[in-house]
Every structure is written in structure tokens, then in C-alpha cells.
Amino acid sequence: MAVNTEFVGRIYPPSGPYAVSAEDIAAFAAAVGATDPVHTDVEAARAAGYADVIAPPTMAVIWEQRSSRAYVADPEAGIDYSRVVHGEESFAHHRPIVAGDELTATTRVDAIRQAGGHSMITVVTDLADAGGAPVCTASSTIVVRGGE
Amino acid sequence: MSRRTFDSVSVGDTFGPTEVAVERETLVAYANASGDQNPIHQDEAFAKSVGLPDVIAHGMWTMGATSSVLVEWVGDPGAVLDIGTRFTKPVVVPVDGSAVTVTGVVKSADEETRSVLVDLTTVCGEDKVLGRCQARVALA
């Protein structure tokens, strides 16, 4: 199976909305050792100027990966998921993700490069809030290892 | 906590090393919290069957733990404007657990936006597990 380079530039229809809950934020914060009370205590979050508890900076990966699954699992895309490793990840935050947000995610295939027999695919997902305002841009590069 | 002030920070300032323990239970918690249930992060027999030395941590767990150390220094998780990394080596998590160690250094400061660029280094034993890990944070 070869990665289909014709997918570069393809934009998938928005997915979601994904409801962000205080419980999900608390569980994610605990799993990555994020101990700041603004993740778990609404009063602390409000004192810091937020409407409710906020997500740790890498939590956007949850909605990014849910959204990009439409591409990665697309049989026409030619991605053998058993050969995939995560190469790079980045998040640009336009504002913190807050409990109560309803996020919509739009994924596009940004680039597909070949190197050393592997395919490197960069997928960019824009998260927007219920009003359509940008919240976070997540960029992920996966490496599909070539066959022996 | 409150956000660190721009005026209190200089280029070259460092923080850490901070050690973060990672147990098999940590990875189960991360899998449940993130939705990434790939068995290479939980099931030793499965991980070894696909050629790995043992269970490995989710790359995104390592990035998340590194981010948490950064946030502890900054004093406000909402201050992180952007953060990015490459995943260079896996964090192997044997049955008795492992740990990563995180250090940070302020690379540059932008007076106009009162933000700083921080280089983060995360190692597991001798292995540098994140490459080119950088974050831009807004200070007070």
C-alpha cells in the first residue's frame, strides 16, 4: 500500500461539535501531571481570568485526532496505520480551551513528503468555537514507514 | 499560581531539571484521558510482538508532561501561545516504571509582546526523547 500523494491540499468537512467538559480536562491534566488548579478548580480559573477550568496546552490533540481520523482511515489515502509513528506535533493557541466550549475541527492534508523510503504526512487541524472564532491550530506529522 | 512577569525573566534563565515519573498506570490514565488506546502503550506482549523492547509511552504523554513542567515555571497554562516538538526516541516503560527529566532555557525575549521563547529538553536516561521542543509563552 502506497500513500496517495494526490490527497495533498484536501480539506475534510468540519467534524464535531465536540463538547469540552470539566471532567475530561481534569482527567487529562492528571494524566500529564498538570497540577495547576486552573485545570480543576473553577474558582481558581475565574480568579485567573478564565470563564471556567482550562485545558492543558497539549489537550487539543484529542479533538485533532478525532477529526483527522477521517483522512487517516480513508482507504483511498493509502495509510497503513500499523506502520505509522508520530513524528512531530505542534499547537498554536489563539486562546485557551475552556470547559463548556463546543469545538468544531477542520482537517486538511498539508504536505506529503517521501524520504528514505518513508512517507511523512503533515496534517493541520483548525479548532474553532461555537461562534466560529479560531481556538487552536494543531499540526501533526506522521511517518508511514516503508515496507522492507 | 500567577503568571511570571516579563521583567523578572532574562535570556539564558533556566529551570529544572525536573523529574517526572511514568508508570504503566500513567499510560493507562493517559490512554483513557486522550482516547489513544494503541496497545503498544499498555500491553507488554503486544509491544514486544511488534519489535519494541517493551511498552512505550505515548509521544503525546511525553509532550504533555514536558508542557506541565513548562507551565509550572510560567505559572499559568493559558500563557502558552504555542508549543511544538519532534519525537526522536521512545520512552520505554518497563513494569517497574521509568522517568523523564525536563529542563528549560529562555532562548529569546520579545519586549513588544512580553513573550519569551523557551527551549525544552526532555531526556529518558541518556536518550533525548524530544527534538527541537520549543514553546512561546506570554508573560505578565
Q: Select from B30, B32, B80 the Cβ nearest to the Cβ of A93.
A: B80
Asked, for residue A135, whether it belongs to a domain, the answer is yes
Asked, for residue A3, whether it belongs to a domain, the answer is no
Asked, for residue A132, whether it belongs to a domain, the answer is yes
Distance CA A105, CA A127 (A): 5
In which region does residue A49 sit, left (phi positive, over 0), alpha (psi from -120 to 50) or beta (all else)?
left
Q: Do B30 and A31 touch (CB under 8 A)?
A: yes
Q: Select from A34, A65, A87 the Cβ nearest to the Cβ of B68.
A: A34
- Structure confidence at residue A146 (pLDDT): 85
Listed as ranges, residues in chain A with pLDDT below 50 are: none
Q: Select from B68, B78, B82 the Cβ nearest to the Cβ of A32.
A: B68
Q: Which sequence spans correspond to the domains of chain B?
A: 6-138
Q: Give per-residue pLDDT as tens, B81-128.
A: 999 999 999 999 999 999 999 999 999 999 999 999 999 999 999 999
Asked, for residue A69, whether it belongs to a domain, the answer is yes
Which CATH number covers residue A92?
3.10.129.10
Distance CA A137, CA A147 (A): 32
For residue A37, whether the previous peptide bond is cis, meaning omega lies within 30 degrees of 0, is no
Q: Do B67 and A48 touch (CB under 8 A)?
A: no
- Structure confidence at residue A148 (pLDDT): 52
Q: Report the Cα A63 to chain-centroid distance in Å.
A: 5
User: Number of structural domains, chain A?
Assistant: 1
Check: CB of residue B24 under 8 Å from CB of residue B55. yes
Query: Given CA atoms B29, B43, A81, A70 in this order, what sign does their dihedral have?
Result: negative
Enclosing domain of residue A60: 10-144
Asked, for residue A4, whether it belongs to a domain, the answer is no
Burial per residue of A86-97, b for 16 or more beta-carbon CB atoms within 10 angstroms, e otherwise = bbbbbbbbeebb
Question: Which residues in B have their CB inside 8 Å of a CB on A?
Answer: 1-2, 20, 26, 29-30, 32-36, 50, 59-61, 63-65, 67-68, 71-72, 75-78, 80-87, 135
Asked, for residue A2, whether it belongs to a domain, the answer is no
Is the domain spanning B6-138 CATH 1.10.760.10? The answer is no
